[in-house]
Amino acid sequence: MDTFAPDLQEKIQSELTRYETPRSAILPVLHLIQDYYEWIQPDHVAWLERDFGLSRVHVQEVATFYSMYRLEPCKPFRILFCDNLVCAMMGAEKVMDKIRDHIGSFPEGKCPFSLQGVPCLGVCDGAPAMLVNKDRHLKVNRDNVDAILASYKV
């Protein structure tokens, strides 16, 4: 395939006219692409320029500036664990250790999870908090984390 899937093209097109300038569509379009293909590939950036007129330079600088865009192939389940002030006080590091153990328990290359520490997720009343893809989990602790992860199967 040398361009985006047709249904995605339609969505991209409507974003381009949704804001005052096409450039404003860059962030939403990158979200759409990422939701569709899991990560943003170099080809995608090229197609955005060729087929939709979005400058490669402009797209690339946005893609690299914002931390939620994935520019490399990724695991099916991405754990973003808050390691900021409140979650740290509530034991985030120990839970993350447990997650690292969980990840380490899979045979080489078979683990469907990745783990990354992220800044405050805006849910500190439920600390420690994490996202698994788009699911929010609150009050994650060493006792419940394995069960939460076990519910994610490829």
Partner 1 sequence: MEFPKILTRFENIPNSRALATYEKHGGYEAARKVLGQKPEEVIALVKDSGLRGRGGAGFPTGLKWSFVPKSADTVYLLCNNDEGEPGTFKDRYILELSPHMLIEGMIIAAHAIGAKKAYIYTRCEFYDEIRWMNEAIEEAYKAGYLGANLLGTKLHIDLDHYIGAGAYICGEETGLISSLEGKKGQPKLKPPFPAVSGYLGKPTIVNNTETLAAVPWIITHGAAAYKAMGTEKSPGTKLFCVSGPVKKPGVFERPLGYPLKKLIFEDAGGMIDGKQLKAVIPGGASAPVLLPAEIETLTLDYEAIAAAGSMLGSGAVMVIPHDQPMMELLRILVNFFHHESCGQCTPCREGTGWLANIVQGVEEKTALPEDIEKLYQIALHMEGRTICALSDAAAMPTKAITKKFADELKQTIYANSRLGG
130, 147, 55, 56: which is closest to 96 by C-alpha?
130
3 part of the interface to ligand FES, by CB under 6 A: no
- Tell me if 124 contacts ligand FES by CB under 6 A: yes
Of 115 and 120, nearer to partner 1 (C-beta) is: 120
To ligand FES, the closest distance from the beta carbon of 123 in angstroms equals 5
Of 39-98, binders to partner 1 (CB under 8 A) are 58, 61-62, 65-69, 80, 83-86, 88-90
Q: What is the 3-state secondary structure (H, E, C) of 21-76?
A: CHHHHHHHHHHHHHHHHCCCCHHHHHHHHHHHCCCHHHHHHHHHHCCCCCCCCCCC
Among 26, 48, 140, 149, binds partner 1 (CB under 8 A): 26
Nearer to ligand FES, 12 or 90 (CB): 90
Spatial separation of the C-alpha atoms in residues 127 and 87, rounded to whole Å? 5
Check if the beta carbon of residue 86 is closer than 8 Å to that of residue 120: yes
Which of 54, 123, 140, 145 forms a contact with ligand FES (CB under 6 A)?
123
